[in-house]
Each structure stands twice: as C-alpha cells, then as structure tokens.
Structure 1
Amino acid sequence: MPRYPEDRPYMAVSEVPREDRSLLSTMEVPNKAVYASQVPLDANRGSGRTLRKPAGSIVALIFEMFLCLVALCFIALALIALSIKNRPTGDTLGDAMEQAMTLGPTIYPILFAALLSRSLKSIGRYCAQRSVGMATLWALMNTNATADPLLHLVSTPASLLVWGLLVLWVMSPLGGQSAIRLMYKTNATDVTHSELRYWDNGPLGNMFVYQGINVNNDGSWPLSMRDIYSASLMQSIAIKTGALDQWGNVKIPRLEAGDPSQIDNDGWMPFQNSTSTESFTSLFGVPIVGLDQIAAKGDVEFTVETAYIELSPASMYNRDTFQGEDQGMTVECLDCYDYAGDDGFLIRAQRFLGLPIPETDVDPNSANFTTPRTVRFNSSVNVEATEATCQLTQQMVEALIKCVNGVCGATKVRQSTTDHRGKNFTSFDYWAWIALDMITSASSAKAAREVLWGSTSSVLFLNDSSAFPIQSGINNGLQRVNISEVDPVAFARRGSILLSTALQAMMAPTAFAGSLPTSNLSIYGPPHIPAYGALAVANQSEYDQHIYAAWGPPLGLGRLVGQVAPFVGASTNATLTQYTEVYRPSYVWAILLIVSSVLLFAVGVAGISVRFKTLAPNIFDPVVGLTYGNPYMSLTGRDDDPIDADERALVLREKRVQLGEVDDYKGVKVVFGEAGYVTPLRLGVPYHAS
C-alpha cells in the first residue's frame, strides 16, 4: 500500500474509528421534497460562483452557430443542383458545384458529427436542468456516432428516443453520399431538321448541263474539266477505297455493294466499310452544300438520290493499230445520237428525261430506241490495240448517309423508290457523248517520235484499281497494259466508275473542293428530288402538251441557278441530332441531402436555442465529471473552483490521475483519483462499488 501525503485533504472511511462506523450506516438520506424546499445557508455569503445564461463557453456557442450556417450551405448546394437542370457544362457555376461535390463527402460527416453531438448534449443539459429520466439523459449525452444508438437499442430496444437518434445518425452517411451524387453529366438530345442541297444528276441537272454546254458553248468544254477527271485518278488508294473522296465529299455505294442478306422491309441494304474501289459508283463523292457545317453541330442523317452508269461485261478482241491512230485509250459511243434535230435523239433523250414522247414519223418502240447503247474502249500501244465493248445502262439508287462526330459516310443503299425511268437510257442519249471526248483527251495523244510509251492512267485503273495509276519508266518496267487480259466483269465495273466520274467532272467541276455558298439555298434552284426535277420549273400539263422537250427546255433554265452555284441542287431533309453535355440533378440524392441537412440544422438551432435558456453548467463530461465531489481529487482549494467542464479541465490539466483502489470500512473499492491518493488495482481482489 502506498503512503499518502501529509496534506491529504480527506479521511478515508477505513480511517474512521471502528466504533464510529455504525453511525454512517444509520444516517438518513433526505427525500426529494426536502431537497427541493431547502435553501443553502451560504447562498448569500458570496462564496462559490454565480451561474449565468447562456451557460458554457461563448466560443463554443459561436462555433455551433457557424456549424449551423455550414449546414445551410449544404441545403443551398442541393437546391442549386436542382435548379441547374439541363445547364451546359463548363461554366463557372458548374465548375464550382463539381468542386463542392468532391469536398462534400469529407466535410459533411465531420459537420454532422460535430453539430449533432454538441446539440444533443446542449439539449441534455437543458433537460437535466428541468428534470429528466436517467435513460433519456444517458441517450442524449452518450450518442456521438452512428454506432451509439445501435448499442443503446440493446439495452433499451423500446425507446422511441433511441430510435429517433438512430434515424438522425443514419442521415450522416446518407448525406455524405448525397453530397457527391447531387448531379451528373449527360448528353441532352435536341433533334432538328435542316434542308440540304446536293448535286442533281437527274433530269433537271442534265437539262441544265445540256443548255450550258451543248447549246450555249456549242459542245465545247473547259480543259480544266479534263484536269479534274485526271485528278480523280491521282487520289491515293486509301481515298479511293474510303467513304470520302479527296475533297471530303461522300461517295455513293453501288447497289451490288449492299448486303442483300440483311435487306429490310423498305429495301435498305446495309453497306459496311469497304476496302474495294469497285464498291462505289464514282471516284468522286456527291457535293453536298453545308454538310460540313451541320455535321460540326452534331450527328446528321439524310438520304440522297442519284444515278450512276452501269456497263455490261466487256467483249474484247485484239487488232493492229490504224495508221495515224492516237496512242493510249480512246472512248466512243457507237450508236449514240449527237444531233439534236434527229428524231432518234429526241425519242431517247425524252425517255431519259422522263418526258412524254411527241409524235414523230418513226416508231418510238423499235429496238433501236429501246435497247441500251454501246460504248467502245480502244487501247492502243505502238502497233497493237485492244477493243472492249460494253452496253450502257444507268442505275437509280438512294443512299442513307450518316455523320457521327463529324465523320460522314453512306451506311445503307437501295433501289430508288421515286425514280422509275428506264435504265436503258442514260446521259449519253442526251449530251454526255462529249464526256467520252474528254476521257479520250485525258487518256490519249498523238505519238511524238519515240518519247511516248506506256499506258495512260485510265488504262492502268482499268487494269488494276488497287494500284496507283502511274508508270515510272525506270528499269524497263511494264510498258504496255493489255486490257484484254482484265476480267470482263471487273473491267465493266471499273469502266462504269470512269464514265460516272467523267460525268461528274463535267456536271459539277467546281463543286468538289467544297466551300459552297450556304447563305441562300435558292441559288441552287427550287427544292426538288431528282426524279421530279423537271416539274420544279414547269407544271405537268405543260409537259403533257409537249410545250417543253429535250432540245427545248423551259425558258430561263440557264438562269435557274445563280452564277456562284456550280450545279443544280436537289433537296433533302436532314435530321440533325445535337448532343450537348449538360448537368442533371439526381433527385433522390438531392432530396436526401436536403432532408438530412434540414434535420441537422433543426437540431443545431434547437441546441443553440436551449443554450440561451440553460444555466446548468456542463458537468456531463465523461472524464471531468468524475472530479465533481470526488474526495480523492484536490482542485485549488478555493471556494470558487470552476464548475463548467471546460474550465475545470483547464485547472486540472497538470494533475496525474488514476483508476485505483481504496479500503473503506466495507472493504476495498475502485475509485478515480489523483495518482498519489489511490493504490493501483490488483488481480484477485474482490472490489465493491461505493
């Protein structure tokens, strides 16, 4: 047993003479009424400390007010999240909300625990001042975390207060999770429709070119048309097999390139990414006015209607060259009409344009006016030549074009549902025989002594569309391509691509480079689809009465298109789907945060309110509370020792304390006291409570 100091401020019960201990057991404890009516004798002597309102530290009160304001901030945060629905991301408010959401899960549980626990203790002190059940006071003073109400339920499972405290504390993790889930980013979809114009190679587009070239220019054409045709052959292999041409125009798939096994009820066949040049109708894509501008705003979907040349499998034979024959490749139509005054020209041109046939002196249904025309390719190198003949037809198709993230391409193809003209009649029955002269001009020349040899780019393309059509002439490489060795079906497809490319080069030579005017679409002519383009400039009765014909188009056709427009523009309705990244509130989480914060704020305000009504000092601290009336603890020895736990802890901060034992007249008991006044606890000793 340790020795106690001489200035020990108390006498242990064990030190009371044994003959006087019986007096302690016979002392009567006054009842509650006696305590309630008793007035302390020294109440007015000036000793001790006078209680005040509000009790406790003013700094702690201000701190709790600050915590209540922070709780209000979380309510405001949830309300702002609800108010910025569909607000585009990237603005200052949105960025600030995102930063607040990242900090919320850390701050909110700390705020909740600090404010709720302090407020519950303030309410408990106020209740203790007015008389309260021990179970209630215990629950209020000893609930500092979510786990505490769960433990209280073990001892008091029927307590409504404990259940209410559990609900309150459950709001802490829910509120923390709500703070990080207040809102999310998503794409808001806005669907609009815009008119697009694209190159029209139907009846109206052909009438316009006939008027401009055959009539106004007497069949002549600029040499630059030949150059743009040659430029199409000089595109890289990757471009030729890709969905766009070198200038960004969307290429149209051939009908046979679609997948017939997946055809839908509307006749659409999906077109997959191709690796073959022969999958497309031309080396050029279709110029579309303003597509790049619309595609930059979102995803675009629309259809175009067009026609392309088809050739039958080639019939080939070899021969000797004629004296003075051009070297290279020449192309000619064997039975096309090139004179507008011919009845045959009128009949076939009218059928190509879809116009009624006027009465003539010849039978319009004879085979000469209904069967396909024949085109012949002559490939001459030195003294040898190869001829390939094919029949000319046209195929009318529709292509579905989609642009996703600014990248466009045809995704489906089908037979045209609006253009029902006969496929045996083509532009070569109207004006396009001069396009064959252009191909000849770009693919052949008179031999100049011995400096001209090899095959032209057109012939090299007919021979192998997957190779770049240039010969270097180095190391005695291949000098002559014999097109008779080319597969007739492959030759026909490649030949049709060359013919369709030449037609585009003549009908819209300045359109492929883009930058087409978009401010006024009327400069491209009236809105129409290619099949009914002629009706856009005259009514049906005028055509039925033969007021207009192939060689007599409507007056002012040459002025139909503005001077800055490179072609007659067919119209289509594009669906533009714009995706804007916006904020959307998570309503459930926002409401949870509001409910949680409102409850926290309400409890916090209640705690502050009762503080102003409370004069009872804070003696409920679990450690400092052990020092009140403790004979084993010595404070200052003055009559005004502090009562409030915070002040009392400040006075006692230097003392060393210990849970130990003392021996009274009943035996050994466990007490809390200064380390020098109590004996350390031992195993095997039966202790009892005081």
Structure 2
Amino acid sequence: MRAGFRKQQSGDASNSSIPESVPLTRKTAEASSQVTVTSGEDKAAPGAKSPQRSFLGLALDCVLVLLPLAFVGLLIAAALQDKKPESVVGDRIQDALLLSPTIFPIVFAAICGKTMKSIALYRSQDGMSLLLLEHLSGASSLFSALERVVILRSFGAIGIVTIVMWLLSPLGGQALSLRLLSKQHLYANTKQNATYLGPEFLNSTALDSGSGTQSHLSRITAIYLSALLSSAEVQGSPRDVWGNPKTEIPHWGPGETDASEWKPVISTNHTARFVNLIGLPVKAFGDKTTSEFVVSSIYMEVRCSSLEYTDTETFKQNLKGPLVTSSYTGGTFPNGTTSIVFPKMPTTNARLTTFLYVSNASWTRFESDITQPLEIFFGARVWETSTLGLPISLATCTVVPRGLETKLACAGHVCRAVAARKQPAELKGGGIWAVRAIMTRGHFCEMGTSYSSAKTGMTERFIFDGFVGEMGQDHSTKLYQIPLADFERRFQQVLNTFWYAATSQIFSNGNFSSFFNAPYALQTPAEVIEDLGLHYVCHWVWFGLALAIVFLLEGLAITNAVLRFRTRIPDIFGYVSSLTIGNKYCEGRDLEQSSALDGLERARALGHVQFQLADVKGGEDVGRIAFVPRGSQDEIGMSRVMFHRYYD
C-alpha cells in the first residue's frame, strides 16, 4: 500500500496541472513575490475569492475588548463605596452586582472561546499538532475542555490550562456579586463620660426635721409606694418603674465574703436578687449606642438572728440594754424606764401596726465607726390575744452600710447590672444622722399604712408575700410564720427602698441639673460603641480575585483582536460547513465555494442544500462514512450507517 502511494505521488508530480505543495514555514519576501507572479499568470477559477477581513467581525472584536472595562468600572465604583453610609448610588451599584453573576459568564464565554479559536487559527498558519488544534478550537466550555482531556487522554499543560481557564468563569461571576459589596453595621469605639447619682446623696435627708418632713413626706411616700406597688414584671426586671438600673448582689461563696473581684450577677426575673426596689439614676448615651461603665453605691446589709412570736412586755423584759429614744416617745428614757410604743399617724392620731427600735449601745459604736453594725428590733402586730402586752412578730437583726461597685451594660439609655464587687462604704456625719432619722422618727413604719390599727399595712404585706396583693377587710399577717431568710431579704429591700426615697427625689424625674441633685451627679468613664448605621463594606479578597480575572479577560480580548487582525486564513474551525471544503462528493453539483470563505459565510452560501452523514460504499463489504449532499444515493450507492457493518 505504501508503494502504491509513492507511485501515485510520482504520477502526480508528472502532471503539470497539479500545483506544488506549499511549505509550512514562513516565506521570505522574495519567495512571496515569486509565488504571486507565478499565480498571477494563471486564470482564477470561477467563484474564487481572496481572504478578506470582516469589518463586522473586527467591530465585534473591538466591542469584546471594551466589555471587561465595564466590569473594571463596576469594581472601582464598588471599592469607592467602602466604609460609606447607605445611599442611593451604593444601592444601584449593588443592583448591578446582582446582575453580574448572570452577565459575566456570558461575556467570559464569548471572549475566552473566541480567543482560543483565534490562537488555533493563527498558529495553524505555520502548522501545529492536531491534538493542540482540537484542544484550542474545541474547548468552548468547561465540559468540552474536560471532555477533550479525558477522550484524547491528553493531560498536558494545554488541557490543564483550558480547564482552569473555564473554571474562572463561575468564580469570576461569584466575585462580581454581592459577595464583593455588602452592607454591615459600622461601629465607632469611643471613651466618654456617663453621669450617675453618686452615693454622697445619702448623706442628707429631708426627714431629719419637722419642716422638712412636712415639705417632702408626700413625695417620699409616692416614690416608696410606686416601687412597692409596681407589677411583678417590673419588680423582677433589672430596672425599676422609672427605668433606672437596680443594684444586685452577686452570690459570693463561703471564702469570698470580702472578695473584691468582679462577680457576674445572675440574670433571672426574680425580685429576690435585688437589694433595692429603686434603681440608681444614670444618664447613658444615644439610642444607637452600647456602653459599659462602673457606678458606686451604698446599701444597708441586713442580717437577722431571730424571727419569733412574742409580746411587747416580754420583749421589754428580755432587753439586754437600753434602746434609742424615738421621736414618738418610745425607747429608753433617762430615768431608765423603757416604753415599747407603736408610732402614731399624724393625721388620725391612730397607732400604726409596726415599730422599729435601735440598740443604744450599737448606735454609740456606729457613730464612731460605721463598719460596726446597728442592732435593730422590728415588730409587727399580730391579731391574737395575750395575757401580757400586745402580741407581735419580733425580728432581731443587724444593719451595716456596705459599699458596692456595679458594672452596668447599656443599650442606648437602657441599662442593667452585669457584674458587681464589694468596696468600702463611706458615710459622712450627715449620712449617719440620716440613718438615725430613718430609724427613730417612725416614717418608715408609716409607709403604706392601712390607716387602721386593726389592718396590715403594705410594707408588711410585701415582707410576708414578696408582693402587695389585694388587702381584705380582716386581713392580717403573721410575719413570724415565714422563713427567716425570706424575711431578711425582703426587709432589706424595703429598708433600702425607703432609705433611697427619703434622701433624694431624682428617681422619678432623673433631673441631674436641679439645684438639689447637681452636687451629687458624678462622672464615670465609659466604653461607648456607637452604631453608625448601615455602611457598605468592600470585601477586598473578592475584589482582588475579581480584578485579576477581569484583567485576564481583558488580556484575552486584546489577544483575540490582535490575532484576528493578523490572521490571513478564513475561520473554518468548529463549523459544519467546513466539511464541504475539498469534499469530492460536492464536485460537479454547483456546490463548489471558495476555500477563502469563513465557516459562516460558507454556511450561508450552502444553507439551502441538505447534507447527511452516510455510508458511501453501501454495496461493498466495508463501508465508508462521509459527509455528502442528499440526492446522490444512486450515483455513489449511498446508504444509511449501520451498527453491524465495518467501515474503513
């Protein structure tokens, strides 16, 4: 067979009508001139054309060069929005980024597919392997690139490069999405000063004189009862009825009694965790801020040793020392006699149902050292019969001022305690006398009275139940029946609530600038985080990735335009019409077209003709598959391709 081929080649050489084969190397200028002169001597065949550049194709190539620049502009616009507040312009850029994942793969496919075909066409002018030509001209998508690598079993650099190139299409689409530019809340960290009511306000009270009592007792009563009668939701909330944060005592272990470390407070909606039903007035910051700062406060720590049922005479006989004389003529007098008297209501002259006395010896120690506890006795009427004095529930307790530092966390103006630690308490002379006035003037026992010596007051109801419910006509309480721990905790709450209410009126109005409150308004440093609102954030990793892919795409578009301009051969790769070039079955049927036509031009010229892939040796044992026009069955014995036949 090889000999036959050589013989045919020798015979062809003797035929002067067959032109010599064209070498695949570049011609010199002299050789090109000789070929041109020689070809000019012959007459051109009918329908022959010279290769020409398509101006429409060149215009399309220029458009493809400009398309990546639009994405560059979009990237720059997105980068310029970084850290800028929400705006109409930014939203329009985000709208454009919503469309980019759809548009970018289309543009990428147009440029990348066209560029690889342009490289194949340009290199085919000088010759290259069919394997590389198939890789470059046929890998028009990720799947087709993978298909060629697998089917051709070509795992070289070109196959890997084409696969990686097509993988950049979806990656670039994702990089040019809202992943590039998003909206986030931007925060500014600053240090500012918060204002709060310092503990110095406890150094004075309006109840230390008759005139002061007449002027302020009604307001004190209103503040106290507002806190006492607030709903269970408010009482269990970390803020009081006016929104002031309540102080809380963390749970210290047995070995942490004097610990100065911060301890977190327990976040539960339970009234028992608060030392006071009135919160500490603070002035935080704007609505779009979160802040944290530390405030100082003082509270009365109550510890009770006993809660029992007894009567006034037995109580008096069991006293181990004299009592401080009260302003309502109770206590121990200079002649040594002791009188246990329930205070009177100033308006009705009726006796109240509770009393509060202080041990004289403990008061003497307290005046010189406030760390020494006061010994107090709290009694409440019990409506039972007794052969001696009046039946009472009697609690024996100690009271001592304690200092507390509380860490507040605020969201805007709304604050709550998150941690606390102990600190020394400081009370000046006025504060000591304020404590004496609370203990001896009887106004604490007057708060929430029933105006009847036969009915329980609101303070007693709160101590008994933990809240103030409906008061029946014959309702009375037996405080001695409740657990000592519950009495101790609730008595501490009402005592501190009255102490705060009796020393300042700021709790209900929060006016730090008033004449009475301004001296006690303290500044404390605060860590403030301000929410600046929604801002655009450019994610620079996605920006860099998108920019690199777009620049690569721009390079491919420029390469395509340059190679298309420099390529002299027609674009025939990838077109079905290219199968008619040199096809002997098209000869003599008026189907010959110039070989200088592009694939689409040839398809337009032969578009009316029907072709098929058929067996052109249907009558022989071994067939041959060829691309032939319809209607030539009789001439060449054409038939359909069969599975059971062999083909050469």
- Structure 2 spans left out of the alignment, 5+ residues: 1-6, 25-31, 313-339
Distance 1:27 1:582, change over 3 A: same
Instruction: Name the counterpart of 1:687.
Output: 647
Instruction: Name the counterpart of 2:615.
Output: 661
Instruction: Give, in whole Å, the separation in 1 of the partners of 2:69 and 2:519.
Output: 66
| 1:494-549 C-alpha deviation (Å, 9 max, x unpaired) | 122111111211223243344x46xxxxx4xxxxxxxxxxxxxxxxxxxxxxxxxx
| Alpha carbons 2:148, 2:154 under 8 Å: kept | yes
Shift of 1:215: 7.3
Shift of 1:312: 3.0
Instruction: Name the counterpart of 1:646.
Output: 600
Residue of structure 1 aligned with 2:563, choices 606, 610, 626: 610
- Whether 1:439 and 2:444 are equivalent positions in the alignment is yes
Instruction: Give, in whole Å, the separation in 1 of the partners of 2:127 and 2:373.
Output: 113
Q: More displaced, 237-246 or 388-397?
A: 388-397
Instruction: Give, in whole Å, the separation in 2 of the partners of 1:654 and 1:453.
Output: 117
Report the residue type matching 2:296 in the other structure: E
Instruction: Give, in whole Å, the separation in 2 of the partners of 1:261 and 1:302.
Output: 27
Shift of 1:153: 4.9
Instruction: Name the counterpart of 1:626.
Output: 579
State the SS of the aligned residue for 2:548.
helix
For the aligned residues, what is the CA RMSD?
Answer: 4.1
Q: Which runs of structure 2 are paired with 1:299-448 in the superposition (5 Å)? A: 299-313=290-304, 314-319=306-311, 326-334=350-358, 351-352=369-370, 372-379=374-381, 385-386=391-392, 388=394, 389-403=396-410, 408-416=415-423, 419=424, 421=426, 427=431, 429-430=433-434, 433-434=437-438, 437-444=442-449, 447=452
Instruction: Give, in whole Å, the separation in 2 of the partners of 1:46 and 1:137.
Output: 31
State the SS of the aligned residue for 1:415.
strand
Q: Which runs of structure 2 are paired with 1:184-333 in the superposition (5 Å)? A: 188-201=186-199, 204-207=200-203, 209-210=204-205, 214=208, 217-222=211-216, 223-254=218-249, 257-258=251-252, 266-289=260-283, 291=284, 293-294=285-286, 296-313=287-304, 314-319=306-311, 326-333=350-357
Instruction: Give, in whole Å, the separation in 2 of the partners of 1:85 and 1:263.
Output: 53
| 1:467-492 C-alpha deviation (Å, 9 max, x unpaired) | 4333154xxxx611122323333223
Instruction: Name the counterpart of 1:168.
Output: 165
Q: Which runs of structure 2 are paired with 1:404-553 in the superposition (5 Å)? A: 408-416=415-423, 419=424, 421=426, 427=431, 429-430=433-434, 433-434=437-438, 437-444=442-449, 447=452, 454-465=455-466, 467-473=467-473, 479-514=475-510, 516=511, 523=513
State the SS of the aligned residue for 1:402.
strand
Shift of 1:187: 5.4
Distance 1:132 1:371, change over 3 A: closer
Shift of 1:402: 1.9
| Alpha carbons 1:242, 1:275 under 8 Å: kept | yes
Shift of 1:271: 1.5
State the SS of the aligned residue for 2:586.
coil
Report the residue type matching 1:386 in the other structure: I
| Alpha carbons 2:225, 2:447 under 8 Å: kept | yes
| Alpha carbons 1:234, 1:468 under 8 Å: kept | yes
Instruction: Give, in whole Å, the separation in 2 of the partners of 1:599 and 1:443.
Output: 83
TM-score in terms of structure 2 length = 0.76
Residue of structure 2 aligned with 1:177, choices 157, 169, 174: 174
| 1:77-100 C-alpha deviation (Å, 9 max, x unpaired) | 444444444444x43344344434
Instruction: Give, in whole Å, the separation in 1 of the partners of 2:238 and 2:493.
Output: 15
Residue of structure 2 aligned with 1:575, choices 527, 550, 553: 527
| Alpha carbons 1:454, 1:479 under 8 Å: kept | yes
Instruction: Give, in whole Å, the separation in 1 of the partners of 2:23 and 2:187.
Output: 79
Shift of 1:283: 0.9
Report the residue type matching 2:195 in the other structure: R
Shift of 1:34: 8.7
Shift of 1:604: 0.9
Identical amino acids, percent of aligned pairs: 21
Instruction: Give, in whole Å, the separation in 2 of the partners of 1:656 and 1:31.
Output: 34
| Alpha carbons 1:309, 1:395 under 8 Å: kept | yes
Distance 1:134 1:482, change over 3 A: closer
State the SS of the aligned residue for 1:462.
helix
Distance 1:664 1:489, change over 3 A: closer
- Whether 1:75 and 2:81 are equivalent positions in the alignment is no
Q: More displaced, 385-394 or 238-247?
A: 385-394
Instruction: Give, in whole Å, the separation in 1 of the partners of 2:137 and 2:288.
Output: 62
Shift of 1:285: 1.0
| 1:314-345 C-alpha deviation (Å, 9 max, x unpaired) | 554444898987354344444579xxxxxx89
Distance 1:636 1:597, change over 3 A: farther
Shift of 1:116: 0.9
- Structure 1 spans left out of the alignment, 5+ residues: 1-21, 338-343, 355-369, 518-522, 524-561
TM-score in terms of structure 1 length = 0.72
| Alpha carbons 1:392, 1:426 under 8 Å: kept | no
Instruction: Give, in whole Å, the separation in 2 of the partners of 1:249 and 1:27.
Output: 110
| Alpha carbons 1:351, 1:422 under 8 Å: kept | no
Instruction: Give, in whole Å, the separation in 2 of the partners of 1:268 and 1:161.
Output: 66
| 1:395-422 C-alpha deviation (Å, 9 max, x unpaired) | 2212222235875322222211xx2559
Instruction: Give, in whole Å, the separation in 1 of the partners of 2:574 and 2:171.
Output: 29
State the SS of the aligned residue for 1:32.
coil
Instruction: Give, in whole Å, the separation in 2 of the partners of 1:34 and 1:251.
Output: 98
Report the residue type matching 1:26 in the other structure: G
- Whether 1:677 and 2:632 are equivalent positions in the alignment is yes
| Alpha carbons 2:192, 2:528 under 8 Å: kept | yes
Instruction: Give, in whole Å, the separation in 1 of the partners of 2:459 and 2:129.
Output: 104
Report the residue type matching 1:300 in the other structure: S
Shift of 1:676: 1.7
| Alpha carbons 2:248, 2:420 under 8 Å: kept | yes
| Alpha carbons 1:252, 1:280 under 8 Å: kept | yes
Shift of 1:386: 2.0
| 1:202-234 C-alpha deviation (Å, 9 max, x unpaired) | xx3234x35x66479555442122111111111
State the SS of the aligned residue for 2:392.
strand
State the SS of the aligned residue for 1:251.
coil
State the SS of the aligned residue for 1:616.
coil
Distance 1:218 1:164, change over 3 A: closer
Instruction: Give, in whole Å, the separation in 1 of the partners of 2:630 and 2:468.
Output: 100
| Alpha carbons 1:509, 1:566 under 8 Å: kept | no
| 1:167-223 C-alpha deviation (Å, 9 max, x unpaired) | 43332233233334435555555322221222223xx3234x35x664795554421
| Alpha carbons 1:199, 1:569 under 8 Å: kept | yes
State the SS of the aligned residue for 2:224.
helix
Q: After the TM superposition, which segments of 4 or more aligned residues of structure 1 sit over 6 Å from their partners?
A: 22-25, 259-265, 320-325, 638-642, 664-667
Shift of 1:672: 0.3
Report the residue type matching 2:265 in the other structure: F
- Whether 1:32 and 2:56 are equivalent positions in the alignment is no
Residue of structure 1 aligned with 2:553, choices 600, 619, 626: 600
Q: More displaced, 592-601 or 74-83?
A: 74-83
| Alpha carbons 1:226, 1:439 under 8 Å: kept | no
Q: Which runs of structure 2 are paired with 1:95-174 in the superposition (5 Å)? A: 95-129=91-125, 134-150=130-146, 152-153=148-149, 155=152, 157=154, 161-174=158-171
Report the residue type matching 1:282 in the other structure: N
| 1:368-427 C-alpha deviation (Å, 9 max, x unpaired) | xx56252534437698652534333222212222235875322222211xx25599x994
Instruction: Give, in whole Å, the separation in 2 of the partners of 1:224 and 1:185.
Output: 51
| Alpha carbons 1:186, 1:582 under 8 Å: kept | yes
